[in-house]
Amino acid sequence: MKQINFNEKKGFICDMDGVIYHGNKILPGVAEFIKWLNDEKKEFLFLTNNSGYTPRELQQKLFRMGLEVGEEHFYTSALATATFLKEQSPGCSVYAIGEAGLIKALYDAGIMMNDINPDYVVVGEAKSYSLDTLTKATNLVLGGARLIGANSDVSGPIENGIAPACGALVAPIEIATGKRAYFCGKPNPLMMRTGLRLLNCHSAEAVMVGDRMDTDIISGLESGMSTVLVLTGVTTPEILATYAYQPSVVLDGIGDIVRMAKGE
C-alpha cells in the first residue's frame, strides 16, 4: 500500500456512518480529526449515502454529540438524487419512499410528488417502508415509472449491529419487476464530482475516507483520489483481502490521520 502525506492534501471527503459515528455514538478520534481539519484550514465535506437526513439534521446530530460543524460541510445521496432528476427531467414527478432528507431534497429541486402516474419511483432509507409501499412501487414501475435508488448500500452500521440500507430495500422491486435501479449515491461518479467541486479541489489534492470498499474506496479510487479505509465500520481485514483493488492506507480509525500528520 502507498503512504499519504496528509499535510500536503488540500481537501478531505469523509463518509459518516461507520467513520464518524455508529447510530448516536461518536467514534474515537473524531473530535481530534475535526479540530485538526479546522486548525490546518483544510477543506472538508461529509459525503454520506444515508438519504434520511437533511444537511441541517446532520449538523444538529453532530452538535448533540459535542461537535460543531457548519451545515455547508454536508452532502447526501438525497441531494445527489434530486440534482440528477432535476437535470434529467426538470419538473418531473415521483413516488418517493424515504425520510425527510430525501423528500425535502426533491421538493427543493422542484420535483412533485405523484402516487398515480409518476415519472420515477425513488427509494431511499425509510422507516415507512412496508409491503404496501413496496407493492405500490412495484406496480408503478411495471406501469412505466423509472426506478431510482438514492444509494446502492445494502447495509449500514448501527450501535448494535447493522441495518438494511437502500440497496436492500430496492432489491425486492428489482426482482419483482425485472427492472434495474439507477443509483445516484456513491460510487456514482456524479456524486464524487459534485463533492470535489464543493471542496474546490482537484482529485489529486483530495483524500476519500470511508469504511466501505464497494462505495467509499472504489469511488475515491476511480475519481483519482487517495483513499483511506477505516476499520470502524463494516469492513474487516478479512473482507478487505477479498477485493482486487486496495485503499492507499488502512487505519484503525479516523483519529489515526491526525497522529500520522503529526508524525506520532
DSSP-assigned states of every residue in 178-226: -PPPEE-STT-HHHHHHHHHHHT--GGGEEEEES-IIIIIHHHHHTT-E
Query: Domains of the chain, with CATH numbers?
Result: 6-49+186-261 (3.40.50.1000), 83-183 (3.40.50.1000)
Nearest residue to 106 via CA among 88, 93, 116: 93
What pLDDT, on the 0 to 100 scale, is given for residue 88? 96
Distance CA 48, CA 50 (A): 5
The H or E element containing residue 121 is strand 120-123
What pLDDT, on the 0 to 100 scale, is given for residue 7? 96
Residue 157 above 80 pLDDT?
A: no
Q: What Rg, from alpha-carbon coordinates, does the chain have?
A: 18
**153 belongs to the catalytic site:** no
What pLDDT, on the 0 to 100 scale, is given for residue 162? 83
Mean pLDDT score, 71-99: 97
Q: Can you say whether the dihedral through the CA atoms of 172, 175, 181, 184 is positive or negative?
A: positive
pLDDT in tens, 140-151: 999 999 999 999
Which CA distances in Å does 236 have to 62, 128, 156, 168, 229? 26, 31, 14, 21, 10
What pLDDT, on the 0 to 100 scale, is given for residue 1? 56
pTM reported for the whole predicted model: 0.91
pLDDT in tens, 191-227: 999 999 999 999 999 999 999 999 999 999 999 999 9
Catalytic residue among 15, 119, 153, 256: 15
pLDDT in tens, 3-26: 899 999 999 999 999 999 988 899
CA 131 to chain centre: 26
Residue-level length of the chain: 264
pLDDT in tens, 30-59: 999 999 999 999 999 999 999 999 999 999
pLDDT in tens, 169-190: 999 999 999 999 999 999 999 9
**17 belongs to the catalytic site:** yes
What pLDDT, on the 0 to 100 scale, is given for residue 142? 98
Catalytic residue among 17, 119, 153, 256: 17
Pairing verdict, β 93-97 and 25-26: unpaired
